[in-house]
């Protein structure tokens, strides 16, 4: 069994982001990068599936981690290898200018990734449900369309569900709203977008890092040209909309004012 995990490298949560002079992008010169959190959970689920497959006597599963981007993304791929992925695929895009990630939208990136996935013929493709930086939530589902496989979104857990309809089946638990979850059974091959928090992430180990050096990292060229269908007009930091108002008076008065606000302005009571 083969599982491909598509991950994205995003700026660190604490990174100070500056808008480029042209106002259409982020200045990446002193940004520190990390693995997109939902993708980290997708990787964790893949590694646990590998273990579950071995425990259930379903044979040795291979976890292949995939990322598109310039050279910097190799640190994220190495991290994935250190945590236990078996090998890595790096779809190389230029640092900047034509063909770079900045010039590509979700559809474009999904094309690059889908192309790489086709070469692997995996039974399962996992990826985070959205990215921490852009948060479009498109790449996974578009990839599924491009690959022609069924998909499920907002998945928390994956189980093997035996054979049926000419192949292996899985049962997934999806997160719905208001604390509800839904179980869906589906055939393989399939693509799942993974929600954060379904598992406990593992920590990186020294042994993992040392073993990762010996693991294969294959570079693929980004064959498909950038064909952006949308356009970035302007990038700006979010406007501060939070307002703080101090309620004064005796405790009872404050409580009364607070209830009034919560009931009629915030409308949560």
Residues of this chain that interact with other proteins (CB under 8 A) are: 12-14, 34, 200-210
What tokens does 214 get?
């010996």
Q: Which of 204, 238, 206, 235 is nearest to 34 (CA)?
A: 204
- CA–CA gap between residue 178 and residue 175 (Å, rounded): 9
We find the least distance from the C-beta atom of residue 115 to other proteins, in angstroms, to be 31
* CB closer to other proteins, 82 vs 152: 82
* CB closer to other proteins, 16 vs 258: 16
Q: What is the CA radius of gyration of the chain?
A: 22
We find the least distance from the C-beta atom of residue 78 to other proteins, in angstroms, to be 12
We find the least distance from the C-beta atom of residue 83 to other proteins, in angstroms, to be 9
Q: Which of 108, 76, 106 is nearest to 90 (CA)?
A: 76
We find the least distance from the C-beta atom of residue 200 to other proteins, in angstroms, to be 6
- CA–CA gap between residue 122 and residue 1 (Å, rounded): 7
We find the least distance from the C-beta atom of residue 63 to other proteins, in angstroms, to be 15
What tokens does 135 get?
């948060």
Q: Please list the alpha-helical segments (H only) found in the chain.
A: 37-55, 74-83, 106-118, 139-147, 206-213, 251-260
Strands (E), the chain: 2-6, 9-11, 33-35, 62-69, 87-92, 124-128, 151-164, 167-175, 181-187, 190-194, 217-221
Q: Which of 220, 182, 206, 190 is nearest to 68 (CA)?
A: 220
We find the least distance from the C-beta atom of residue 43 to other proteins, in angstroms, to be 14
Cis bond upstream, residue 145 (ω within 30): no
We find the least distance from the C-beta atom of residue 100 to other proteins, in angstroms, to be 26
């Amino acid at each position: 069994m083969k599982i491909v995990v598509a991950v994205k490298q995003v700026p660190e949560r604490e990174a100070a982001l500056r808008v480029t002079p042209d106002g259409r992008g982020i200045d990446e010169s002193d940004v520190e990068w990390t693995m997109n959190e939902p993708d980290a959970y997708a990787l964790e689920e893949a590694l646990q599936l590998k273990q579950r497959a071995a425990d259930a006597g379903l044979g040795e599963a291979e976890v292949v981690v995939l990322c598109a981007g310039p050279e910097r993304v190799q640190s994220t791929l190495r991290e994935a290898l250190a945590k236990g992925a078996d090998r890595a695929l790096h779809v190389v895009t230029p640092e900047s200018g034509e063909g770079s990630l900045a010039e590509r939208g979700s559809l474009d990136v999904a094309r690059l990734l889908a192309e790489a996935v086709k070469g692997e013929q995996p039974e399962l493709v996992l990826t985070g449900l959205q990215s921490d930086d852009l948060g479009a939530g498109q790449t996974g589902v578009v990839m599924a369309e491009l690959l022609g496989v069924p998909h499920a979104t907002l998945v928390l857990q994956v189980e093997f569900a035996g054979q049926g309809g000419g192949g292996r089946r899985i049962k997934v638990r999806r997160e719905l709203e208001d604390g509800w979850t839904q179980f869906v059974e589906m055939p393989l091959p399939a693509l799942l977008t993974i929600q954060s928090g379904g598992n406990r992430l593992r920590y990186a180990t020294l042994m993992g890092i040392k073993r990762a050096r010996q693991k294969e990292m294959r570079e693929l060229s980004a064959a498909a040209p950038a064909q952006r269908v949308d356009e970035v007009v302007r990038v700006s930091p979010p406007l501060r909309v939070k307002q703080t108002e101090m309620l004064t008076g005796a405790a009872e008065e404050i409580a009364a004012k607070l209830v009034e606000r919560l009931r009629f302005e915030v409308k949560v009571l």
